[in-house]
Structure 1
Amino acid sequence: MQRRRFLGALGALAVGAVAAGALGPVADAFAQAKPLAIDVYKSPLCGCCEDWVKHLRANGFTVTVHDVEDTGVYRKRFGMPERFGSCHTGYTGGYAIEGHVPAADIRKLLAAKPKAVGLAVPGMPVGSPGMEQGPRKDPFDVLLVKGDGAASVFASYNKPAA
């Protein structure tokens, strides 16, 4: 009986510590690990879009897929300029996610909350999430797209060492 009482007290102490913020990094890790919801608008026939959805799910996102005839309609609705277009458009936390954006960058965007339309990986670069083709990995940038249509590099991948 004493063991049960001890374990109960220990559990209450841990809950209190988390509530009080005493376990800062541990509590932060649990908060970041919670699933994030994203809507994905894609062609019903696109295999690489399905692979990107699998990448998001494998990285803790709850994905609602919408098979649509024209993803451009959704790009326009979410404010993503057509020149950054790709084969699918996502929407999460008030941001458009265009193309094969890595899940980690979406999480960084949602944590930083910059004033922007969202992230884009224009085209379909080989080696980006959903576009894996064996060992080949083409360099690509994830762009942060602003409301005025300007873009800056948010993250770079597969760049040759200098």
Structure 2
Amino acid sequence: MSYKQFIHWWQKYLPLILVRVAVRAVVIICLTVGVLGILGSTASMSNAQLVSTTKGIQDKQTPLKSTALNATVYHSPDCNCCGGWIDHLKAQGFQITDFFTPDIETVKQKYNVPDNLSSCHTAIVNGYVIEGHVPADDIKRLLQEKPNVAGLSVPQMPVGTPGMEMGDRKDPFSVLSFDSKGSVAVFNEYPSS
């Protein structure tokens, strides 16, 4: 392999390698948070119930005019925070089709999720891409307003988003909209509490 071929190969495949490493890191973080949550729990597992300690995001419910709330969610079978987000959507009236995949990166590429907006799971709701821990209220607003965007994202995994609850701690975060041309805009903002 010549030096020019090597440089061309490196430029072509480095972004893909970095994305795969980042996705694996996200999965490891999800697993770690889930295990720490289980280990830190004082409730016995036989009597455990899902109890939300955060207020605001999960308690709001936007009525939706006769739009079916169906979500197809793709995530790693090892990710616990994805299950917390799915439970949040179910509590808000969404019907979930849950797909486990060991190659979430391929799903993100298929639905053109920008690398800088990626998170641990990808969902499709009425043709829109929903990336990460987007609150159900924002998805309902998206379905009602029907803007010309590809979808919504909460990049990474901010503490306090649905599925990423850690006691009373809530990090500030933004829900971002994105389109197929690479434009990104703030759809909603949540300050820290």
- In the alignment, the residues of structure 2 paired with residue 156 and residue 145 of structure 1 have an alpha-carbon distance, to the nearest angstrom, of 15
- 1:30 Cα deviation after fit: 7.5
Structure 1 residue ranges without an equivalent (≥5): 1-28
Q: Deviations over 1:112-140 (max 9, x none)?
A: 11111100000000000000000000000
Q: Deviations over 1:51-100 (max 9, x none)?
A: 00000000000011000012221122122212211000000111100000
1:85 counterpart residue number: 118
2:67 and 2:143 in contact (8 A); partners too: no
Identity of aligned residues (%): 45
Q: In the alignment, does 2:96 pair up with 1:63?
A: yes
- In the alignment, the residues of structure 1 paired with residue 155 and residue 63 of structure 2 have an alpha-carbon distance, to the nearest angstrom, of 32
1:8 counterpart residue number: none
1:35 and 1:60 in contact (8 A); partners too: no
Q: In the alignment, does 2:159 pair up with 1:126?
A: yes
- Tell me which amino acid in the other structure corresponds to 1:83: N
User: Which stretches of structure 1, 4 residues or longer, exceed 6 Å deviation after superposition?
Assistant: none
- In the alignment, the residues of structure 2 paired with residue 55 and residue 145 of structure 1 have an alpha-carbon distance, to the nearest angstrom, of 23
- 1:101 Cα deviation after fit: 0.1
Cα distance change, pair 116–30 in 1 and its aligned pair in 2 (3 A): closer
- 1:104 Cα deviation after fit: 0.5
- 1:158 Cα deviation after fit: 2.4
- 1:34 Cα deviation after fit: 6.2
SS at match of 1:143: strand
1:76 and 1:82 in contact (8 A); partners too: no
Q: In the alignment, does 2:150 pair up with 1:117?
A: yes
- In the alignment, the residues of structure 2 paired with residue 128 and residue 75 of structure 1 have an alpha-carbon distance, to the nearest angstrom, of 20
CA RMSD of aligned residues (A): 1.8
1:3 counterpart residue number: none
- In the alignment, the residues of structure 1 paired with residue 109 and residue 177 of structure 2 have an alpha-carbon distance, to the nearest angstrom, of 16
After superposition, residues 139-154 of structure 1 pair within 5 angstroms as 139-154=172-187
1:34 and 1:60 in contact (8 A); partners too: no
2:82 and 2:121 in contact (8 A); partners too: yes
TM-score (norm 1): 0.76
Cα distance change, pair 114–135 in 1 and its aligned pair in 2 (3 A): same
- In the alignment, the residues of structure 2 paired with residue 114 and residue 76 of structure 1 have an alpha-carbon distance, to the nearest angstrom, of 22
